[in-house]
Amino acid sequence: MKFVSVVDGDTVRVKQGNKAITLRLLLIDTPESKDPKKPVQPYAVEAGKYLDSYLRYANLSMQYDNNQKTDRYGRHLVYLYANNRLVNDEMVRSGYARIGYVYSQKYYLNALKKTESVAKAKKLRIWSIPGYVNTRGEGFIYNPKKPVVKQAPKPAPKPAAKPVAKQPTTKAGYPTSKYRKGAPKTFKNCTAMKKYYPYGVTIHHISYNKKHDRDKDKLACEASNVAYQPWMKNN
C-alpha cells in the first residue's frame, strides 16, 4: 500500500495495487478544514500537515474492525499503521485528534481513551483552547468573532458660511439711488458725474445735488425723456 495524499487530519488517500482508495481513520476526529460552509478550525491545517509527514515515507498497512468496511461515502473505515505504529492513536496522542464517531467499531476504543486523557491533561493543541472540544457531542465548537469595524468619526460640522453681501444692482438705462464703490461723493458738474453714473442719480443718492437738478424733478443729470418713478428709490 502506497501513500498518495492527506485529505485532512483523519482522512487519507492511498494506492492499493493499481487502485486508489480513501481511508477514514476509525474512532478519531480532527478539526474541519474542507467544509466550504464553515471557517477553517484551529489546528485543522496543522493536523493535516502532521499526518502527511508521519505517513509520507512510512511502510503502511491497515486493519478493519468488523464487517462494515466502508461508510456511505465509500471511504474505508480502518485502523492505519505506519511502520507498525497505530496512526489513529498517534493523532490523539499528539493532541491533533479527539475520540469521535464511535459506532460499532470499538476494538481500540479503551486504548484511545487512555491516550486522550493524557493529551487532555497536558493541554496539547486542541486541548489548549478552553471549550473547543465539544464534550457533549461530536466535533468542535468554533465561532470566530467577526472583526469589529470601527466607524470613522463624523467630521465636525463646518461653520455656516457668512452670507455674501450682494452688490447693488441697478436697472440699466435709468438713474440710480445706489452709491458706486470708489466713486466720488460730490461732482463739479454732470459731465463729471456721468463718468460714474451715465444715466444720472435720484434724489435719494448721496451724490445728488440740487444744482444738477435744474428741472427740480428729483433726478440729477438724467436723460431728457426720463421722469422720476417711486421704484427708482431702490434702483
Fill in the DSSP letter of residue 50. Answer: H
3 DSSP β-pair partners: 14
d(CA 97, CA 28): 6
List of E strands, the chain: 2-8, 11-16, 19-25, 28-29, 60-63, 76-82, 85-86, 98-99, 201-202, 219-220
**Alpha carbon of residue 222 to chain centroid:** 72
Show the cell assigned to 187. Answer: 461732482
Section 163-181 average pLDDT: 73
Section 191-220 average pLDDT: 91
d(CA 200, CA 177): 9
Distances in Å between the alpha carbon of 111 and those of 64, 89, 101, 108, 123? 16, 8, 16, 5, 19
Per-residue pLDDT at 147 = 57
**pLDDT (tens digit per residue) in 103-144:** 899 999 999 999 999 999 999 999 999 999 998 989 999 988
**Rounded percentage of the chain residues whose pLDDT exceeds 90:** 70
d(CA 31, CA 139): 7
Respond yes or no: is residue 24 known to be catalytic.
yes
Cβ-proximal residues to 119 (8 Å cutoff; 6+ apart), any chain: 92, 93, 94, 95, 125, 127
Q: Kindly name the residue from 75, 93, 98, 125 that is annotated as catalytic.
A: 75
Domain limits, CATH 2.40.50.90, in the chain: 2-128
Tell me: pLDDT of 92 over 60: yes
Show the cell assigned to 41. Answer: 478550525
Q: Using 50, 70 and 90 to split pLDDT, how confident is the model at 48? A: very high
Point out the least confidently predicted range of 14-28, 87-101, 166-180, 194-208: 166-180
Tell me: pLDDT of 63 over 80: yes
Fill in the DSSP letter of residue 124. Answer: -
Per-residue pLDDT at 168 = 47
Helix (H/G/I), strand (E/B), else coil: 58: coil
Q: Kindly name the residue from 24, 93, 98, 125 that is annotated as catalytic.
A: 24
Fold of 2-128: OB fold (Dihydrolipoamide Acetyltransferase, E2P) (2.40.50)
User: Which element (helix H / strand E) includes 121?
Assistant: helix 109-122
Tell me: pLDDT of 146 over 70: no
Cβ-proximal residues to 84 (8 Å cutoff; 6+ apart), any chain: 59, 61
User: Do 209 and 220 contact (CB within 8 A), yes or no?
Assistant: yes
Per-residue pLDDT at 162 = 67
Section 35-53 average pLDDT: 94
Q: Is the dihedral of CA 101, 103, 109, 113 positive or negative?
A: positive
d(CA 85, CA 108): 13
